[in-house]
Structure 1
């Protein structure tokens, strides 16, 4: 949310992004979301929304990217994951709505992609539905040998999502952990 956005602006954007009217529980979740945003991100000059798999074998790279930004960029930047907002289980906000509200007000969206499992396909679909999301998104894609690449990624990712970000020079490929670390350092430096 931009610093000047009012509560009614947030509600209007929530209604625009959602397929139905918000429930009273979702309005309460929206109020808490606004408070979380103020605590986590509102004051930062560079806001980074970090996407990726939360699966046990993958989440370390997502967390490494978030930690690198928060550690190396000083007070002017902040990185966060979607689950940093409304972490309490009893607060309700539709996940696609939550994603869009965070993405709208982030300066940069960085996705770590290693396969097509989990919510990756939904996130990728949301990213390419809006030119404003495409413009601020960079994908850190793990590369595999050609025969394995077909097993790890769906055709929709390969011929849709990755192709789009490659066209705009926003696809950053890596194979090893060392290459990944180098990619995140270069990318964050480039974006700041």
Structure 2
């Protein structure tokens, strides 16, 4: 996790880190970022591509969308495919996680705002959430991009949990996906399911 831009070395924090059990100290910020911090992230994640004035203002207005993510004890960024059947299961996982006290689970589409770039939106949300939860059913869809990002970025990988659908007669996953599953399995953060009842049950095993 990149250090907050408003805290220079040697300067004490404005207040002590939160001791709430759901959010260990220094793991995720407990305050909304300011404009300067979001612009720094945009510069980093978009490889120094300059933001237009319109994009800058849109990004600034989107900061408020982070409020429920930061101000709950445990936040869950639920990722997966948005096909008709698949999104129903994403909603199931989100609903289960939202039943937990003082927790907030959300899909990418729930955070509307005026984001101009999907990669930037994903990375800012991933930076500020406590847990990334992937629901994987096959090797099709844009979710493959997110899978690559949360493996390449150590800070994302450390808080990622994946619910992997299993099939009796086939394995519709690529070699690269299977490699990701192996990494997560070694960390006990891979959960297998083969029906919606099992999916709901395995969701309960996510911290």
In the superposition, the TM-score normalised over structure 1's length comes to 0.86
Structure 1 counterpart of 2:128: 105
Asked if the contact 2:32–2:66 (Cα under 8 Å) also holds between the matched residues in 1, the reply is no
The aligned runs of 1:47-62 (5 Å cut-off) are 47-62=75-90
Q: Across the two proteins, how many residue pairs are aligned to each other?
A: 178
In structure 2, what is the Cα distance between the partners aligned to 1:4 and 1:63? 26
1:25 aligns with 2:45: no
The aligned runs of 1:1-192 (5 Å cut-off) are 2=29, 3=31, 5-19=33-47, 20-38=49-67, 40-70=68-98, 72-74=99-101, 76-86=102-112, 91-145=114-168, 147-149=169-171, 152-159=172-179, 161-187=180-206, 191=207
Structure 1 counterpart of 2:24: none
Note the residue ranges of structure 1 that are not aligned, 5 or more in a row. none
State the Cα deviation string for residues 139-166 of structure 1 (Å, max 9, x = none): 0000113x510xx21121112x111111
Q: CA RMSD in A?
A: 1.6
Larger Rg, first or second structure (1 or 2): 2
Runs of 4+ in structure 1 deviating by more than 4 angstroms, as ranges, are none
Note the residue ranges of structure 2 that are not aligned, 5 or more in a row. 1-27
